[in-house]
Structure 1
Amino acid sequence: MSNRNYVIVKHMTLLKQVKITACYVFLVWITITQFKAWSQTQERPFILVKASEREKILDKIEKQDWANEIYTNLQKETNRRVDIFYKNPEAFIKKLPFDWSKKQQNQFPPFLKTTHVANGVQENLDNATDEEWRPAELLINNLQVALNCGVMYYLTEDEKYAYVASSILYSFLKSVQQSEVSTWRGRGGWLFPYDGFREVRVIGYKLPLIYDFIHPYLKQEGKAFDIFKNNKVSFPFEDAQKVFKAYANITVNYGQTGSNHCALEAPSLVFNALAMDDDTDREQWLSYFLTESTENQDALNVMVKNYKNEGDIWPETSQYLNHTTSILARLMLVVNKYNPSLKLGKKYPNVLHALPRLDYFVYPNNEIVRWGDGHRRAHAPYEAYENAYALAKMDGLTQIQNKFAPLISGAIRKGKYKRKGIEALFWYDDDFKDAPVNIELSRTDRVYHAGIVLQRNLSSTGNPKDDMMCFVGGAHMVHGHAEGMNIELYGEGQVLGVDHGRKSYGKNLHENYSRIFAAHNTVIVNGSSQGEGGWVNLGMNKVKPVTMEPEVGKEGVSPHHSFSLTSFVDDKGDKAEATQERTLALIRTSPTTGYYVDVFRSKSRLPNEYHDYLYHNIGDELVFDNQDLDFKETPDRYMANANAPWKRNKQYRHPGWHFFEDVNTSKLYASDVKATFHTKKLEQGAVFMQLHIPGFENRTYTKVKAPTTFESPEPYNHMPTPTLVIRKEGEAWNNPFVVVFEPFNDMETPSVQSVTKIEQDGIYKGLKIVSKTPSETVTQFIITQSKNQVFKNDTLGIHFEGTFAIITINEDDSLKSIYVGEGEKLSYKNEVVTTNSLKSYYKDYSK
């Protein structure tokens, strides 16, 4: 074993050493030798675009309207800033955020540092104020001016642009080196001493691109303006190379592995590596992106292990998974263009296959299924789709080209996507006019790493308001929430049964509500369900599918019914210790009507157990039909942990329900309950979610106002969220929480007329539901059991060996249909069904 310093950078205090074997040295030498042979033929620019591609791009600008629009907008904005510069170069440069109080004689002053202080403690910049962020904003904006000037110089060869870019870059290089890279928590930066992770993402990657574009000008002894010499000076190539290595070093030797951080920092690594003029340095640093991981940075060959199978996605929440994959696809294209012999698209095709998966995790109103810190309305990364298409085209991957062509075509035609930015100008050529546009959404799907099983049933009316969709899920991941076994429900064009979402990181609301159980439609056990261990101490078990119908990718045996049975172990901390099962069924009764059945079983191995079922629905109020519930104000009911210790990202006030306000609780109540969430202020008109809840002993009902649900439709993104909490003293397994949900609008009456529980020997077995649709009245017997259970009722004439089944009866008592979602045998009166190896079955007796 031998030790080797990656690089020594002037003013850098953190030097790390990496142990490498002789074999590793030999392999790196081979890689560098191979790259060197290639790189010696390169003439700048070549990071985003090659000098040889200029004429082709100019032709595109002349002939393609979208390309001409990009160029015209860039030219207009850049010329405006260039004119300001030429009027007074000194005044222009002096607007950079220099810290004049620290200026040394004959030297540039350092830049003002960008920091954030919370409660007297220096922290990262997630919640920086506008004032704290202003120096960084000034710097970022001016570097963007320099980058735009570099692009305009490349396209026009007019040196006025190169001189402006050179002057800004020169001033940055001189000033930044007056500081030292911070060693704060191994995550420090140069200008952001407490957030190097952010610095390389917003600053570090721009510098090499500026340099690459104006290099022909610099190589010809092009000058830069020095504000202290008040004159044009030669460009400091050596300083530039030191700064590029410093930013590459911050990525390679700072930071953390095993998360999206490695991908988010990778553009700075790749671009700074490619900006190095020494071939050996360039390929050495580039190898840290391609193959050579360090303890602080995963290389591409490690990151791609998250895409083991076609369709696998980055294992985080929605905005992070697509953002991460988009970055990798972009960098794969950049490096592939630099060295086409790598064929990165062919080597790692599953990265590209992962990109469109989020398009399939959408509700009928195009909002995204939400888990963890995920956003509701993130848009598909169409630029990444085009990058994937371009890379696939380079590497001859016809299947991937055929996958992305209709996605891009459809987005362009529907007005969802418009090409913009310099990379579009450089990389995109195809018009996709002849590509198909439709995306087929399956009846069921899974987000495997998030434990999510989703169901959808699109109406034959073609109106998204008549569509139905739901999901159950939950799992631990980076940016995941300790949410238990959570559901969301869609109806009348909106996600009505909602997950809270998230806003600003680090705030009390986010840490002690958004991230933990009380913000989700789940069950809290003994008031103590929590996350523990893992990422920021929010670890929890994954929700596991026990059975489902239809299976992912299958058509389903019935056009009207689907279901899932999932399980979860709530054992973090030491006060819940619960086993749980959840049956979630989607049942359509006509093209415009249908309902959801939710059966949640929960039991703890601890004595004196109790269980709380939570359901949040956007709306104005929750109204109960039962006048005898006798609600009383109970302001202290959920306040036990309101002042418990809280340490950001480490310790929380579980389970978070101390944020509930206007808390009112019923007396013990064993009868059936009917309640409705009223949502009357939507632009589309009023909608409702009606709940039928079969009664059981030892139950109380509480209605509360929970915090606002983020990204909900106006005006509910500014209003409290009405929430129902049902408490069961004792176990909730044999007699679980059972709720029938029906969405409807103000032009309709609810179709569900009555809901009656079915029991066997005092144990819940299912429901009898009578529905009046626009065309008929039907009765449905819905049997919901755990695996390997048997239900027999001679009065009803039902015998069922299995997990889930629906028997539908016409108004004249004739048999309309039988559905077995999972089971061995079902008999109803004289009709006997045996499913054999398929385990599922459907027959429509009206045909």
Structure 2
Amino acid sequence: MRRILLGLCFLSFLNSASGQEIPLPESMPQAHPRVLTTPEGKQETWNLIKTEEWAKDVFDKLRERTEKYTDLTATRPDWLLSRLAMYWKSHATEVYIKGETFDHAGGEKAPYPTVRYTGTRGTAATHGRPRLADIVPYDDDDNGNVTFCNNALPDRPMESVHPSKTGRNIESLNCEILGIARDAAFLYWMTEEEKFAKLAAGVFDTYMTGIYYRNVPVDLNHGHQQTLVGLTSFEVIHEDALHIAVPLYDFLYDYLKANYPQKMEIYAGAFKKWADNIIANGVPHNNWDLLQARFIMNVGLVLEDNKAYADGKGREYYIDYVMNRSSIRQWSLTRLAEYGFDSKTGIWAECPGYSSVVINDYANFVNQFDNNLRYDLVKAMPVLSKAVATTPQYLFPNRMICGFGDTHPGYLNTNFFVRMIQNAQANGKKEQEDYFTALLKCLNPGAGNEKAEKKNVRVSVNSFFEDKPLTLNPEVQAGKIEEYVSPLFHAPNVSWLVQRNGMDPRSSLMISQNGSEGNHMHANGISMELYGKGYVLGPDAGIGLFLYSGLDYAEYYSQFPSHNTVCVDGISSYPVMKSNHSFELLSCFPASAEPGGEFTSVTYSNLYFREPESRADQTRMMSIVTTAPETGYYVDVFRSRKEKGGDKMHDYFYHNLGQTLTLTAADGTDLNLQPTEELAFAGAHLYAYSYLYDKKVAATGKDVKATFTIDMKDKGGDDISMNLWMKGEPDREVFTALSPMTEGLSRTPGMPYNIKEQPTLTFVARQHGEAWNRPFVAVYEPSTRKEPSAIQAVSYFDAEETALTDFAGICVKSKNGRTDHIFSLSDATQTATYQGMKVKADYAVISNRYAGDNRTLFMGNGTQLIAPGVSIRTSVPANVLLEQKQGKWYILSSAFCTVVIGGKKMKVEAAQKTKRCISCP
């Protein structure tokens, strides 16, 4: 509890702090290197090599592989540099593209060879790179072709081909050669052996001179691509050669200044041209901005002071651009943070996969500012600590992140926790250090164990400098995951809401719901993911095989039918990627709050969404009802209708993991499902419908039950099922189908079967006409063979008030003797009555007395609940949870309420955070 309180105080401080302009350091180091390390770092590196086996191994392997090329250049000095992809003959200064494809090069002839431009924006290629030894030296024919390998023919013969057929292999080739030169520059800095300097300088001089004399590509289509192109790549965020050229120059600086003094201005000019183009192009409002900022920052660090250049653009200019200045396509770190981070929640305005990348990029900037500029970026931008501290909210109980939008769910990156600890240690911030140390130890128990972390270190120059050994305070114990997540959490800037009843990987339940607000989002209405028995059983579909540039993404993975949502008239859609279609939170319990709150036996949310294509109103009420320490179920009531009527149909989609799906009437009788070609593009519907196959249908008004099963024979035989009960309605059809594989989980380790090779099991309920007065009313319960369903039966009831045409009533009988009557109303000012129970609320759960003296009553956004022997009344709409446990009554209430139990009236003050006993002496 003490850690929770400290954490809340820490987060409260972060909320109250304000941003400010980041001042430049008064003085900066003048010697080189200064990006990956400092001149003093040479001795530190030698000490590391002498004392650490991994460091000696990396150094020896680095030297061995580089000396292969110094040996070759001993007899032919141009052996390596001649294999650079350059315009060796034409010296072309201009490059012309058509959209995402290279067209031709030309313009005036430069005094030196210029750098060849890559083939396409995407990676698809008919022709691949030859081995470096097989590259034709000075390869540049009169047609501007390159000599690459034909991937379609046996033995991949080499042939002259237009660059547009080679994908990104041209830039890849140049990066490989530059990488060899960078390694040689590092070895020269370490050993002072001139053979390494000569190899590195020849490549660097040739390439950077070629950059200096080559201009930014021109898009002949005059399209959006013109605002994205870099000097070597179709995207400024993929100027990978620049990341290599900076440390190459940094390690080789003194040698170049002594041996190429007349070229130093050209090298600096090339770097500045590169950085200026990255400032001019790109995307300012998402993760691109940070990737671009990293390039600009590195250029700034490696250049000399402003006064060293005639144009006054040197180190301070570019570093200040990253810190404080903004152009139309490149925002400062402060402006981007103000735009993208929600100051209240700390959530970044993109899907979880991209948000994690952005937060990690910011955290790495924190580390770079500490190391290179001796400046505390967290102090200047306190929202960064808030954002890092909030990332556990993305976690399901199995510790994997939510999958909405363009996300590949995985385990949470813990590097940003390390960066916050390092920042705290560098700047003497003990409270911050303790908080993130406990969090890091919680999610990565092996953190700080250098022996465990230094196995299989990659053979790279960066391995010596990127991370100094992390020392964690041994007195700080690992936190508990429950301290870092909230029972209910709402992030409006990404239209996302989470409900949890705990964080036990096996028994806890969690719902993740999302709309489409922010970047890298899909067209999905009010979508949801459901968790159970160690897995996200009802997952989001993912991005697709070719990410967001693929046809499967455009037609299926980003569209309504791939999500667990309701599609109207077969046409529901809106712009994906940067989307502005959020849901509205009408009511919820518990309140969205800081982490560490008390988990409750009932949670719920009521969301509203306007589907723009069909002009339909949709609400989704979802709830978790916990019936015992290890059992519980989900409730889903989805209402949908078009604003002006004329509803053709509303399709409720649910996708679940597994290999088998059975669909029967709720009483177990056969529905006589028949093959069908419905659920199709035919009829002017979305293309996404055509991605469904093996479709079977039954027209029925019966209540139905679907069971999705994961065969766990390879993991102990404890098969996992998701049980779905749905209320029947007139004019309804129910379908089973197969959908494309759940691509989002296809890379996830430890899955119970090969996700990539298994189509996704899909249930669809189609309501002809409106689905408001005939809503989709469902109960979900995960179970396993060893932990069978705890539900005995699910049935439905109508309110006694005949005017309540859109009322939903559910009766859930559990095997432990508990019976829950669930009330769902679309208008909380109306009253619903059933068998002596009366509810005036959005949502209510009324259980009987069971297992001795246990009972649960819940009123959501209401003013009245009457049940046998108990009543609750409030003067304003409120959430009230009243529970009887072993004969004692406990309450949580968002407002003052009057409770009557067994004829005894009690006045209860509001208390939302901790349950109070109202029957205790």
Q: TM-score, normalised by structure 1?
A: 0.83
Q: How many residues align?
A: 767
Distance 1:214 1:387 in 2: 29
Which one of 434, 437, 440 corresponds to residue 478 of structure 2? 437
Q: In the alignment, what sits opposite 2:916?
A: none
State yes or no: 1:540 paired with 2:581.
yes
Once structures 1 and 2 are overlaid, which stretch shifts more, 135-144 or 680-689?
680-689
Q: Deviations over 1:439-496 (max 9, x none)?
A: 333322233322111122237xx5x222221122212322111111001011121111
Q: Identify the residue that residue 904 of structure 2 maps to in structure 1.
A: none
Find the aligned partners of 1:736 and 1:83 in 2 and give their Cα distance: 71
Q: Is residue 674 of structure 2 the alignment partner of residue 632 of structure 1?
A: yes
Q: What is the alpha-carbon distance in structure 2 between the residues aligned to residue 38 and residue 465 of structure 1?
A: 55
Question: Cα gap change, 1:618/1:682 in structure 2, threshold over 3 Å: closer, same or farther?
Answer: farther
Deviation at 1:682, TM superposition (A): 6.7
The 3-state SS of whatever aligns with 1:309 is coil
Match of 2:364 in 1: 330
Secondary structure of the 1:840 match is: strand
Instruction: Indicate the residue corresponding to 1:125 in structure 2.
Output: 122
Report the residue type matching 2:423 in the other structure: L
* Cross-structure match for 1:386: 418
Percent of counterpart pairs with the same letter? 23
Give 2:500's match in structure 1, choosing from 438, 447, 456: 456
> What's the counterpart of residue 350 of structure 2?
316
SS in structure 1 at match of 2:396: coil
SS of the aligned residue for 2:736 comes to strand
Give the letter aligned to residue 517 of structure 1. Answer: F
1:114 maps to which of 109, 118, 123: 118
The 1:557/1:465 distance shift into structure 2, 3 A limit, reads closer
Displacement of 1:57: 5.3
Secondary structure, counterpart of 2:465 in structure 1? helix
1:72 aligned partner: 57
Structure 2 residue 267 is matched with structure 1 residue 240: yes
Q: Distance in 2 between matches of 1:86 and 1:738?
A: 74
1: distance between equivalents of 2:342 and 2:518?
Answer: 17
Structure 2 counterpart of 1:580: 618
- d(CA) in 2 for partners of 1:180, 1:682: 60
Change (3 A) 1:209 1:517: same
Q: Which portions of structure 1, spanning 4 or more consecutive aligned residues, are displaced by more than 6 angstroms? A: 103-107, 554-558, 812-815
1:270 alignment partner, one of 293, 297, 316: 297
> How much has 1:109 moved relative to structure 2?
4.1
Whether 1:51 and 2:39 are equivalent positions in the alignment is yes
Farther off after superposition, 301-310 or 257-266: 301-310
Pick one of 394, 406, 413 that aligns with 2:445.
413
1:94: Cα distance to partner? 3.1
**TM-score, with length taken from structure 2:** 0.77
Aligned to 2:421, the other structure's residue is in SS state helix
User: What is aligned with 2:561?
Assistant: 518
Task: Write the distance in 2 (CA, Å) between the matches of 1:81 and 1:315.
Answer: 44
Task: Name the residue aligned to 1:467.
Answer: 508
Deviation at 1:84, TM superposition (A): 3.1
Q: Distance in 2 between matches of 1:141 and 1:334?
A: 25
For residues 843 and 138 of structure 1, the distance between their equivalents in structure 2, rounded to whole angstroms, comes to 68
- For the residues of structure 1 that align with 2:418 and 2:853, how far apart are their CA atoms? 56
| Counterpart mapping for 1:177-576 below 5 A | 177=212, 179-184=214-219, 185-187=225-227, 189=229, 192=232, 195-200=234-239, 202-219=240-257, 221=258, 236-280=263-307, 281-282=313-314, 283-305=316-338, 306-307=340-341, 309=343, 311-340=345-374, 342-377=375-410, 379-382=412-415, 384-410=416-442, 413-414=445-446, 418=453, 422=462, 425=465, 428-434=468-474, 435-438=476-479, 439=481, 440=483, 441-458=485-502, 464-503=505-544, 504=546, 505-532=548-575, 539-549=580-590, 551-553=592-594, 559-571=600-612, 573=613, 576=614
User: What secondary structure sits across from 1:261 in the alignment?
Assistant: helix
The letter for the 1-side match of 2:828 is N
**Shift in alpha-carbon separation, 1:358–1:811, aligned structure 2, 3 A:** closer
Q: Secondary structure at the match of 1:777?
A: coil
Distance 2:582 2:274 in 1: 38
CA contact (8 A) 1:549 1:822 kept: no
Give the match's secondary structure for 1:437: coil
Deviations 1:228-258 (A, max 9, x none): xxxxx77831221121011111111122322
- Asked whether the equivalents of residues 496 and 617 of structure 1 are also in contact (C-alpha less than 8 Å), the reply is yes
Corresponding residue for residue 66 of structure 2: 81
CA distance in structure 2 between the aligned counterparts of 1:199 and 1:814, rounded to whole angstroms: 64
Go from structure 1 to structure 2 and tell me whether the alpha carbon gap of 1:579 and 1:843 turns closer, same or farther (over 3 Å shift).
same
Query: Greater CA deviation, 263-272 or 344-353?
Result: 344-353
Deviation at 1:558, TM superposition (A): 6.6
CA deviation map 1:364-397 (0-9, x unaligned): 2222111110111154141x33333333444444
- Structure 1 window deviating more from structure 2 (318-327 vs 80-89): it is 80-89
Counterpart of 1:784 in structure 2 is 824
> Secondary structure of 2:435's partner?
helix
1 CA distance for matches of 2:809 and 2:596?
26
The aligned counterpart of 1:14 is: none
Which residue of structure 1 aligns with residue 742 of structure 2?
A: 709
Q: 2:808 aligns with which of 748, 758, 765?
A: 765
1:173 aligns with 2:208: yes
Structure 1 distance, partners of 2:62, 2:509, is: 47
Residue equivalent to 2:702: 671
The structure-2 alpha-carbon separation of the partners of 1:458 and 1:541, relative to structure 1 and needing over 3 Å to count, comes to closer
Give the equivalent residue in structure 2 for 1:696.
729
The 10-residue stretch of structure 1 (286-295 or 152-161) with the greater mean CA deviation from structure 2: 152-161
Determine the structure 2 residue equivalent to 1:613. Answer: 652
Q: Which residue of 1 aligns with 2:899?
A: none
In the aligned structure 2, how far is the partner of 1:405 from the partner of 1:691? Answer: 41
SS in 2 for 1:839: strand
Written as runs of structure 1 = structure 2, the 5 A alignment for 1:730-745 is: 730-745=769-784
Q: Which amino acid aligns with 1:569?
A: R
Distance 1:79 1:471, change over 3 A: same
Q: SS where residue 432 of structure 1 aligns?
A: coil
C-alpha distance 715-247 of structure 1, shift in aligned 2 (>3 A): same
- Displacement of 1:577 in angstroms is 1.1
Please identify, of 312-321 and 73-82, the stretch whose mean Cα deviation from structure 2 is larger: 73-82
CA RMSD across the alignment:
3.2
SS at match of 2:31: coil
Matches within 5 A, 1:623-662: 623-626=662-665, 627-640=669-682, 654=686, 656-662=688-694
